[in-house]
Structure formats: C-alpha cells, structure tokens
Structure 1
C-alpha cells in the first residue's frame, strides 16, 4: 500500500506543540504575577481545575491594550487543547503505520514505537537525577524523590509537563487489542464504545477525587490523566480516521472540510469548554458532587479542535509557504519540544521581567508575546539537541546489538 503524506497533520502537530508551550508559559510565568500571586500553585488553589467564562477576560474591553491582552489570554488559555490534538494524531499515526505494514510482526512493531518514545524520556530523567534543581526551580522548591522513582515506571512525572507520554506509552503497549477491535467493529461502533468506556471511567474516578474519598494519584488537580483510558476516545478517534484515510483519503478530507462538520466541531468545542466550567462540575446529588463536565469535556474538545485546526492549516497551506514550512519542520521535533519546554520556562523569569505593575496593558501583552517567542526558540534548540543525542545513542545501541548478534552466529 502506498503511503500518502498528510501535510495538514504535520502542520497540526507543529502548531499543537507550540500551543502547549504557550499555555504553560501563560499559566506558570504570566498569570500568577499578573493577578498578584507569588507562584502558580498559590494561583491554582484559588482558581481550581474548573472556572467561569470570566477567566478568559481578565480586563474590561475599554481600551485597545485591554482588548489585545484579553485576546492573547484567550489564545494561550486554550493552549491545553494542543494535547487533545496530540492524542488524535498519535492514534492516527500508529494505526496508519500498522495498516501500511500489515505483515510486520506485532512484537517488532510495538518495539520500534516504544523505543522511539521511552529512551528520550530516560535521558531527561537522568538529567533530572543529576540536576534536581531543574525540577525544583519550576515547582518552587518542591522536589519529591518518591515521585522521581515512580516516574521510571510511568506512574508519576519527574520531568515537568511530561504526563502526556505516560498514556501515550500505555496506548502503544495495548495497541494490539485496540487495532483488533478497530478491524472487527464498524467505525460507529468503535467510536461509541470507546466514548462510553472513557466517560464512565473518568466520571467514577472524578467522583472519588471530588468527594475526597481518596487523594488522587492518577493525575493533577483531581483529573485522572496518567492512565490511557481517560484519553481513550481521542486516541481511537485518530485510529478511526486512519482507517478511513487508508482506504479513501479523499473521503476523510471531504468529511473534515464539509461546512456541516465544521459547524458541528464548533458546537462541540463550545460544549467541551463549558464542561470545564464550575457550574458543570458542582452538581450535587444527595450531598455527592457529580463532576459531569470534566467526564466528557476532552472528548468533545478533541473532535472539535481537531476539525477546526485542520481547516485552518489547510487554509494556511494555500496562503503562506513560510508558516507551512515552519510548522511542518517543528512537527519533526514536537515530541522533544514537549519534553524540554520546562527549561525555557525556568530560564525566562530568571532573566526577564514578565509583569510590571501599573504599566499599559498593551505593553504587557507585547512583552508576553515576545517572551513566548523566546521560549519557543529556546525550546527548539533544546529539542533539536535532545533529538540528536537520542538518535546517536540509538544508532550506537543498534550497532552494538548487531555485533553481538553476529558474534552469536
């Protein structure tokens, strides 16, 4: 079967990586001092995992500067949706690779995918072990060695913002069964089944966390994100798209670009965002808090934001070669950029002033944008170096294993 290069997906991967870096910069480096808090954890205790629409508009629309800062705030606050794009793209990539190589042994297939992800993470874990201040500085003095050791078996994160890879590796390890059901069931049955499983699991775990039955260990801010089942629908949505694309690329593209699909995506995007708000997660029944919103919000957002960003990238291909080339290039180091972004987030506040009290809001917004660009540049350099190091180590290991195998013969 001939491989079809899907340029829009490459661009989406690059955009998602930059977008995720943006939300972490905004949440950790900008919003806490902007609202007068000393650090992120103090700010998070007040805001909590859910909020209201007022969170998107911190300043009144009474000046150009305020409007610009509010618009920048909306863009960065929605940056967490880049992770939803990542999960769908990961499901698409794994399923499409398997469809293109149906005769490859499953052991060999999983081995290649697993070792594409894990060695890079191990290298950064070693850096965290040698220089624990890298983690402590970002988490304002907090460094738990038990957390560090659990991170070696993907049950905790010693590298800031590395939780994404835990469910991703779990998906790789159980991909054989997911792919089996993708082939066995229709697209509708496959997606409906995975959606129901995801919502039920997430809802039950959140009930326990929200009602203080146990202290959550499966994610941050009471969200069970470390286990793959919480992101099952998004990953399987990507798998379903790969199945359609492999049989008829035009069919999938036509569906994603239909006005009806775009309108439906915007509707689900709005529903998903509303699912993050407090009113959707503070419903009480016989004294028990029922977090309905957080149980389904990511599944809705996953579909909605994927379709929206896909069409934006498709439009950019036609009008801007420079942006297209940049995002496509970033996609090649997106995984490493995700894992090394914390370095830039540590460096920036040490050498630059992020928020100045009493200055015009337009100047604050401008400074924030420039610092974000600088963090992206720092991240690109670190990501490229990490990728080169990982590839060099992998080549040496393969060469040594080849010599060892030849010696046995």
Structure 2
C-alpha cells in the first residue's frame, strides 16, 4: 500500500539543505575575517577539531547587537547538523521505496537509485578536473591529489563540501545487506547493533589517526572518519528503521516522534551530542588522545536534531503555508543544491564585502544575513540549472537504451 507523501520529511530535506549552506558560509567565509584571520585554514588551526562553549558565544552579552550576533552564530554554526538529517532521510527514503516495491528486482531498483546520484556528481567532477585554478579556489587553497584519486574510488571528495556523497553511495552499494538484516531482526536490535558498530569503528579510526603518524592518512575528514560509511551507519540505519515502522503504520511513527517525552529525550541527546565535540569529552592521557566524545557525538546529534526539526516543521505546516511550500520546493532540488553550493560561496564574497572591521555588531550580523540570502539564491539557480541538465541527459540516455533494446529484439 502506498501512503501520501510524508510532508514533514520533505520540509526537513529543504531546511537541511539551506542550513548546510548557512554553516559553510559562516564557517568558511565569515568567521575567519571577522576574527582577523587571513583565510579559513589559519582560523581552523586555532579552533582545532574539538569545540568549546566559547565558540558559540564569541561576543559578550553587553549590547543588543552582540546578542543578535551570538544567536546568529549559534544557528549558523549548528548548520552542520543538516547533514545528520540528510543521512536519516536517505535511509528512510531508500528503505521505504524498497518496501513499496518488494517485487522489483534488486538490479533494477539499485540502478534507478544510483543513476539518480552519479550523473550530477560526474558533471561537477569534470568541471573540477578541467579547471585547475577553479579547483584550488574551491578548496581555499587546500587541495591534494590523494584526495582527488580517492574520489574516483568512492572514498573522498574532489568537489568542496561534497563528502556526503561518498558515504551515501557506499550505503547504496551495501543497501541490499542492510535491508536484509532489517527484515530479519527486530528494530531495536537492528538500531543497537548499528550504533555499536559505528562507535567502535569511529573510535579506532580516530585514535589511530590522531596519535600515530603512520595512520594519519586513514583519518580523513573529521566529519567522515576513515573514508568509509560505517562512521555514519547509525544515522542511515535509523532512517531505515523509521521507514519500516512508517510502512506498517504511519500513525505509530508520527505519534512517537511528537510525544513530549520523545522531544525531551531528543533535546537531551542534542546537548550530549554537542558536548561530545567539546575538548573535555576528548581528553589526553599520557600524551595519547582519546576521542571518546567524537566517536558517538554525531549519532546522538542525528537522533536529537531529527526529532526537533521534525516537530518544528510539523508546527510550520499549521502556521505558515508560504514557508511550507518553500521548504517543500527546495527539497526537490536539495541534492543539486548541496553539490553546487560552492559556486555561491565563491561568487558572492568576491563581489561583496563580508566583514568591515570596527563596525557595530548589529550591522555586521545584518550584512551576514543579507549575504547568506544572496548565496542561497545563487545556489538555488545553479541547482535548478543542474537538475535540468541532468534530467535532460538522463532522458536521452533512457531513449538511447530503449532504442538499443528494441533493435536487439
């Protein structure tokens, strides 16, 4: 049986896409010059891999402008959690699609899904390869050929801010096994097993990469440790488990996500997840770095932020039809927007002043909001154009394959 579209999830996908653009603008383009650093890499060396509470409150609460700036800083910095939402939604969407089409062969099912991902990525990868200077600018001068070659092996990114693609593709490739395990075992066992595997794997990768130079090449991006999707296994499989519940009875899942006790637990998990990225949660003993917090923080954040944003979107449906329609529409181009966001993040700062030293904080915060809106508009236009190009190529490919099949017959 096919149910109506889960509108809250569509809105969440649109919101997550906009939120990810926000954190990349704020973290890469805005904060470094605001704090007096010449570039992002110089700023990142000071900030380090772990956070502190002071990172969220850079200005003292002694004026209205500073309060507005700090609130904006908290919202933008937490934009990385949009990726957690993406992983859960990807697991949900893939599992739910399979549940609705149990008789479709796995080869046809996966061909459709992978074909949705690959053409868009290969177009952007070609641009990145053809224009070396652009490639260097996209990475803010931080580009190495090891990363480039790993991208061809579905292990690392050669397009900025595209790391989400690779664990997602890896999940698609092993989805058959995950789905088989989900069908055979109770949901709680499925989720718990995925959580344990994720935590153990991430801890081992981080402790080896941080403490032993010989293993440092395996560390990868802190958002994507070890270049394998196992570090995001819990979030993706949590989405799959939700799809199984939703397919059996949509009301059960919705009621569970909207229970006050569930929301309270989600807030607690969100706080614990953020604390897991703090320095005190990842201490050093006898000169050895133990990433206790970093091995579980994203799993906690995934569960926490999903429930929180779900309930926010559910409230927005009742309060604002315009916002609901906008986020739902953005969800249709969210994948392309995610991959093309780098264009807006490069173009707008080149033509507009991001930070003016010594000006009132309220004016700085207002400029940041306006620039973010401009970047988002550029991203939306690029996403729409890329989607049209990809759809055109895909339709021609299907026609060609259809003609070839007919000739064979």
TM-score tier after normalising by the smaller chain length? over 0.9
The change in CA–CA distance for 1:336 and 1:200 in structure 2 (over 3 A counts) is: same
Q: Aligned residue for 1:256? A: 257
Alignment of 1:279 with 2:280, yes or no, is yes
| CA drift at 1:408 | 1.1
Aligned: 1:56 with 2:56: yes
1 CA distance for matches of 2:45 and 2:237? 33
What is the alpha-carbon distance in structure 2 between the residues aligned to residue 185 and residue 42 of structure 1?
48
Q: Secondary structure of the equivalent of 1:88? A: helix
**Gaps in structure 2 of 5+ consecutive residues:** none
Conserved in 2, the CA contact under 8 Å of 1:206 and 1:222?
A: no
Q: Give the deviation of 1:221 after TM superposition.
A: 4.3
Count of paired positions: 408
Q: Report the alpha carbon displacement of residue 227 of structure 1 after superposing the two structures with TM.
A: 1.3
* TM superposition shift of 1:222: 8.1
Distance 1:210 1:218, change over 3 A: closer
TM-score (norm 2): 0.97
Name the Cα RMSD after superposition.
Answer: 1.2
Q: Which residue of 2 aligns with 1:338?
A: 338
Task: Give the match's secondary structure for 1:292.
Answer: coil
For 1:382 and 1:51, locate their aligned partners in 2 and report how far apart those are by CA, in whole Å.
Answer: 33
1:41-81 deviation line (CA, Å, top 9, x unaligned): 11111111112100000000000000000000000000000
SS at match of 1:393: helix
Q: 1:348 touches 1:375 (CA, 8 Å); kept in 2?
A: yes
Match for residue 44 of structure 1?
44
1:224 equivalent to 2:225? Answer yes
- Rounded Cα–Cα distance in structure 1 between residues aligned with 2:150 and 2:93: 28
Give the distance between the partners of 1:348 and 1:365, measured in 2 at CA. 16
- Indicate conservation of the 8 Å contact 1:134/1:343, yes or no: no
Q: How many Å apart are 1:218 and its aligned residue?
A: 4.8
Cα deviation for residue 119 of structure 1 reads: 1.1
Residue matched to 2:248: 247
Which residue of the partner structure matches residue 167 of structure 1?
167
Paired residues for 1:131-280 under 5 Å: 131-213=131-213, 214-221=215-222, 224=225, 226-280=227-281
Change (3 A) 1:222 1:262: closer
SS of equivalent to 2:294: helix
- How far the C-alpha of 1:224 sits from its partner, in A, is 0.3
Report the 3-state secondary structure (helix = DSSP H, G, I; strand = E; otherwise coil) of the residue aligned with 2:217. Answer: coil
The answer on whether the counterparts of 1:216 and 1:224 sit within 8 Å (CA) in structure 2 is no
Q: Matched residues in 2 for 1:145 and 1:209: separation? A: 19
Counterpart position of 2:4: 4
Question: What's the secondary structure of 1:62's corresponding residue?
Answer: coil
- The Cα offsets for residues 309-328 of structure 1, whole Å up to 9 and x where unpaired, read as 00000000000000000000
Structure 1 runs not aligned, ≥5 long? none
Q: Distance in 2 between matches of 1:142 and 1:85?
A: 27
